[in-house]
């Protein structure tokens, strides 16, 4: 072999080794974690994953996330990627004002709220985060938070209400919506409203009231029977929290009374169904009582911290409404009538009709954000 060629090859090997060493150099940055692994839930025929990725900053320089990739841990394929404004909109640094994402200072924690529908549901996930450090333009990547998905629930639920139309009010991007509100109780932060829905009754014109919108008795849903979604045991119940006659008169409640009057049902599969803001005097159940699916357990009301009469409903892994992790669920059957793409139209005009290809009769699903549905009577 001619000597110049050998020297050139030797130089390439050295350069390659140097590049590998630079790429593999340790960088004190983020711990990536997923405290609550998701279980797939079905929404309008598609499997959806809903969970949070926590970034804990252990380095000594400000770091700015730029791209997040969620990867199938078995096959290696990228399932979804977020960057730029899309990533920022899903992120919140604990202790800062909502929307004030950006550079993460040493010692801070950021939560990235994830919702996506993979084409094929994986069994395991891992996460690759690219970021930039203060004083450097070169991106750095950290990989971690390898998790196995939780099993999808097998027990499907009966309706929490009768008839309709009812709108399923929730949206993952709302800063003060249930989806992004943590509570730190008993030494642990939890997100009970991860899959929470506020149910509000409508008429066929999309109105929520038969008269004075400020008068709770004029609300179309006020006093409607609230139903057990499964055969269950009462794990907790409270009555006696008062309500005001008008929405505008509702005061700020102490932390413990934010849920108003409530019932928590222990289901056979270990999950707990939570119903909040029930009408005073409507909760006749006590802890340990047995209920049957479809049984009336209370009435829709306006107790606790509420912006209007509605039923708050979610499933969790414990009996305490604010000290449990929200878990996924689906209803055995309901009729999908349409959606409100913009919630400011609610109460003013009818909902948007179903798009072509979406069937009205739904089975074993969670309603989509701001979907309008009808339950069996």
Reduce the secondary structure of the chain to three states and give it as a string: CCHHHHHHHHHHHHHHHHHHHHHHCCCCCEEEECCCCCCCEEECCEEEEEEEEEEEECCCCCEEEEEEEEEECCCCCEEEEEEHHHHHHCEEECCCCCCCCCCECCCCEEEEEEEECCCCCCCEEEEEEEEEECCCCCEEEEEEEEEECCCCCCCCECCCCCCCCEEEECCCCCCCCHHHCCEEECCEEECCCCCCEEEEECCCCCCCECCCCCEHHHECCCCCEEECCCCEEEEEEECCCCCCCEHHHCCCCCHHHCCCEEEEEEECCCCEEEEEEECCCCCCCCCCCEECCCCEEEEEECCCCCCCCEEEEEEECCCCCCCCCEECCCEEEEEEEEECCCHHHCCCCCCEECCCCCCCEEEEECCCCCEEEECCC
Q: What is the pLDDT of residue 100?
A: 59
Q: What is the pLDDT of residue 46?
A: 94
Alpha carbon 77 to its chain centroid, in Å, reads: 25
Q: What is the pLDDT of residue 289?
A: 98
Q: What is the pLDDT of residue 14?
A: 34
In tens, the pLDDT along 218-230 reads 999 999 999 999 9
- Residue 243 in tokens: 């309500």
Long-range contacts of range 137-144, CB-CB < 8 Å, 24 or more positions apart? 139/66, 140/27, 140/29, 142/27, 142/29, 142/30, 142/32, 143/32, 144/31, 144/32, 144/33
Q: What is the pLDDT of residue 23?
A: 43
Q: What is the pLDDT of residue 257?
A: 86
Residue ranges of the chain with per-residue pLDDT less than 50 = 1-24
Q: What is the pLDDT of residue 7?
A: 43
Q: Read off the pTM.
A: 0.89
Q: What is the pLDDT of residue 2?
A: 43
């Amino acid at each position: 072999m001619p000597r110049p060629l050998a020297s050139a090859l030797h130089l390439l090997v050295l350069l390659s080794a140097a590049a590998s060493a630079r790429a593999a150099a340790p960088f004190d940055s983020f711990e990536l974690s997923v405290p609550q692994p998701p279980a797939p839930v079905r929404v309008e025929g598609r499997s959806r994953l809903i969970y949070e990725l926590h970034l804990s900053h252990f380095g000594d320089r400000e770091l700015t996330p730029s791209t997040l990739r969620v990867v199938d841990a078995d096959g290696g394929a990228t399932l979804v990627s977020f960057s730029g404004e899309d990533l920022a909109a899903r992120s919140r640094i604990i202790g800062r004002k909502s929307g004030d994402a950006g550079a993460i200072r040493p010692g801070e924690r950021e939560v990235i709220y994830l919702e996506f529908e993979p084409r094929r549901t994986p069994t395991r996930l891992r996460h690759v985060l690219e970021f930039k450090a203060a004083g450097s333009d070169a991106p750095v990547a950290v990989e971690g938070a390898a998790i196995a998905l939780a099993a999808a629930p097998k027990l499907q639920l009966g309706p929490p209400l009768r008839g309709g139309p009812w709108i399923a009010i929730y949206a993952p991007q709302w800063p003060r919506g249930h989806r992004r509100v943590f509570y730190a109780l008993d030494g642990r932060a939890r997100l009970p409203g991860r899959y929470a829905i506020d149910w509000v009754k409508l008429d066929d014109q999309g109105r929520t009231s038969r008269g004075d919108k400020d008068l709770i008795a004029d609300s179309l849903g006020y006093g409607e029977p609230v139903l057990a979604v499964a055969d269950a045991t009462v794990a907790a119940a409270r009555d006696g929290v008062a309500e005001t006659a008008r929405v505008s008169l509702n005061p700020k409640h102490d932390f413990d009374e934010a849920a108003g009057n409530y019932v928590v049902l222990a289901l056979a599969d270990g999950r707990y169904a939570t119903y909040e803001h029930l009408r005073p005097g409507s909760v006749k159940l006590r802890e340990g009582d047995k209920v049957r699916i479809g049984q009336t357990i209370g009435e829709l009301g306006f107790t606790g911290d509420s912006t209007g009469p509605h039923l708050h409903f979610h499933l969790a892994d414990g009996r305490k409404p604010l000290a449990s992790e929200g878990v996924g669920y689906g209803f055995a059957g309901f009729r999908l009538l349409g959606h409100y793409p913009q919630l400011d139209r609610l109460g003013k005009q009818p909902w948007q009709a179903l798009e072509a290809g979406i069937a009205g009769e739904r089975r074993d699903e969670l309603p989509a954000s701001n979907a309008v549905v009808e339950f069996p009577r």
